[in-house]
Amino acid sequence: MPSSSPNFHLRALRIWSSKDYAIAAFIFFLLFSLLLFTHFDPNPSPSHSHSSHLVPLTLLRNARHTPALCLDGSAPGYHFRSGFGSGSRNWLIHVEGGGWCNSISSCSKRKFSHLGSSKYMEKFIPFSGILSSDPYQNPDFFNWNKVKIRYCDGASFSGHPESERASGLFFRGQVIWDAIMDELLSIGLSTAKQALLSGCSAGGLATLIHCDNFRQLLPKEATVKCLADAGFFLDEKDISGNSTMRSFYHDVFQLQCLFPSEIVKNMKTPLFLVHPAYDFWQIRNILVPQESDPQGHWQSCKLNIRNCNANMIDKLDSFRGSLLKTLNEFQQRKEIGMFINSCFIHCQTEMEMTWHSPNSPKINDKTIGESVGDWYFDREAVKRIDCPSHSCNPTCRNMDFT
């Protein structure tokens, strides 16, 4: 049979070689190329090349040669991720929050934590929400230079060395701020085209305190604005009629009460306020501090707003009314933007789920991220005030501590 002939196999091989090697080589090259490009993206998206990586802690370079020190005397620090593409000359500086210490005792305890010492700070952290480099999570600021300043002075970066006395603590908040700004200016901030200073809670208050100074550090032609997230603390009496927060602030700052409403009155730099009308931190520490509720009647309510009875809800609604009344005088100022939702939460810009995602809190179908972007880039005036009830907005991400 022909198929069993050795000469037939040899002839067949010669015939295939002469006609098909070129085609086979081309097919092999094509398959190899497809396999290669399946695993290689010549233009990797920021979500792959940036967002998946943790951002390292950078300690202040010249800490040993400056008086800029955390409460315990260690070097202050920050996390930095460089911008790319069209955002390479734009900067977003975000200030960490974490309450305050108002006595030698409370500050001494604080120095054994990341809020008082860089020795206890995480060496790597993820950047999400407003700090994200994913264009889907952070469409307006994803490719900017990003900095998260770690908070270790206990007074919203406002302390001065002369207040230290013989405490064994270092109250160097203002000095830390100046030193970190100097370092950031030296690595590119000084040539910024656009910049946004933001912060959460005590970091939000720090943003208000330092906003105008931040504007002065940058080129006159740069667009510079500020954002305070859950940093608009009210000067309200608690349920017992005491001015707990005013007394606390007086102890923190020693000379005067720096309430945000007083700071904002004199601010010249454009400002955006992100604030929940039912801020759980303010409910716990301003409206119902522990000493005002010794029997613990409010405990369940403070853990979950759905557990509050009708009388408690009335007081919470009144607290919301005080917030809106205080904000009312800023409503007419064009440069001030607002996103005041009716959620039981505290700090919403740092998390993807509350900054900008399909399930984020919305007002008029706009997320916080979209609203801040609309305001920053002057796409529209933004004064978004939510409906008047803790249960009226189904998009709220209400916290449950039970």
Q: Residue 358: how many CB atoms within 10 A of its CB?
A: 7
Please indicate, yes or no, whether residues 25 and 141 belong to a single structural domain of this protein: no
Please indicate, yes or no, whether residues 92 and 26 belong to a single structural domain of this protein: no
Encoded tokens for 383: 């004064």
Residue 157: inside a domain: yes
Predicted local distance difference test score (pLDDT) of residue 23: 42
Catalytic residue among 51, 74, 158, 201: 201
Please indicate, yes or no, whether residues 325 and 266 belong to a single structural domain of this protein: yes
Residue 47: inside a domain: no
Please indicate, yes or no, whether residues 343 and 235 belong to a single structural domain of this protein: yes
Please indicate, yes or no, whether residues 131 and 32 belong to a single structural domain of this protein: no
**DSSP assigned state of 75:** P
How far apart are the C-alpha atoms of 259 and 228, rounded to whole Å?
13
Q: Are 209 and 249 in contact (CB under 8 A)?
A: no
Residue 400: inside a domain: no
Residue 51: inside a domain: no
Catalytic residue among 140, 153, 178, 279: 279
Please indicate, yes or no, whether residues 69 and 176 belong to a single structural domain of this protein: yes
**DSSP assigned state of 284:** I
End-to-end CA distance of the chain: 85
Give the CATH number, domain containing residue 326: 3.40.50
Q: Are 157 and 176 in contact (CB under 8 A)?
A: yes
Predicted local distance difference test score (pLDDT) of residue 33: 37
How far apart are the C-alpha atoms of 181 and 95, rounded to whole Å?
12
Q: Are 222 and 193 in contact (CB under 8 A)?
A: yes
Mean pLDDT by groups of 10 residues along the chain of 402 residues: 39 41 41 35 37 85 82 96 98 96 90 97 98 97 98 90 72 94 97 98 95 98 98 88 72 55 92 97 94 96 97 97 94 95 98 97 98 98 96 96 94
User: Which helix (H) or strand (E) element contains residue 347?
Assistant: none
Please indicate, yes or no, whether residues 76 and 145 belong to a single structural domain of this protein: yes
At 91, phi and psi to the nearest 5? -130, 135
* Closest to 73 in 3D by CA, of 110, 43, 118, 42: 118
Predicted local distance difference test score (pLDDT) of residue 165: 62
DSSP line for 115-182: TT-GGGS-SEE---GGG---TTT-TTTTTSEEEEE---SSSTT---GGG-TTSS----HHHHHHHHHH
Predicted local distance difference test score (pLDDT) of residue 8: 35
Residue 283: inside a domain: yes
Please indicate, yes or no, whether residues 122 and 22 belong to a single structural domain of this protein: no
Residue 87, CB-side half-sphere exposure with 13 Å CA sphere? 21
Residues forming a β-bridge with 226: 197, 271
Residue 52: inside a domain: no
How far apart are the C-alpha atoms of 115 and 125, rounded to whole Å?
15
Please indicate, yes or no, whether residues 221 and 279 belong to a single structural domain of this protein: yes
How far apart are the C-alpha atoms of 204 and 272, rounded to whole Å?
11
Q: Residue 332: exposed, middle, or buried by beta-carbon count in 10 A (0-12, 13-18, 19+)?
A: exposed
Regarding beta strands 366-367 and 362-363, do their DSSP bridges make them parallel or antiparallel, or are they unpaired?
antiparallel
Residue 402: inside a domain: no
Please indicate, yes or no, whether residues 269 and 311 belong to a single structural domain of this protein: yes
What amino acid occupies position 401? F
Encoded tokens for 286: 């301003």
Please indicate, yes or no, whether residues 249 and 293 belong to a single structural domain of this protein: yes
Predicted local distance difference test score (pLDDT) of residue 180: 97
How far apart are the C-alpha atoms of 265 and 216, rounded to whole Å?
18
Q: How many domains does the chain have?
A: 2
Catalytic residue among 50, 94, 346, 356: 346
79 is catalytic: no
Q: Residue 297: how many CB atoms within 10 A of its CB?
A: 13
279 is catalytic: yes
User: Which helix (H) or strand (E) element contains residue 394?
Assistant: none
Nearest-5° Cα angle at 151, 109 to 361: 115
Could you give the 3-state DSSP secondary structure of residue 195? strand
Residue spans of beta strands (DSSP E) within 22-72: 55-59
346 is catalytic: yes
Predicted local distance difference test score (pLDDT) of residue 61: 87
- Domain ranges, residue 29: 2-39
**DSSP assigned state of 402:** -
Please indicate, yes or no, whether residues 165 and 292 belong to a single structural domain of this protein: yes
Residue 46: inside a domain: no
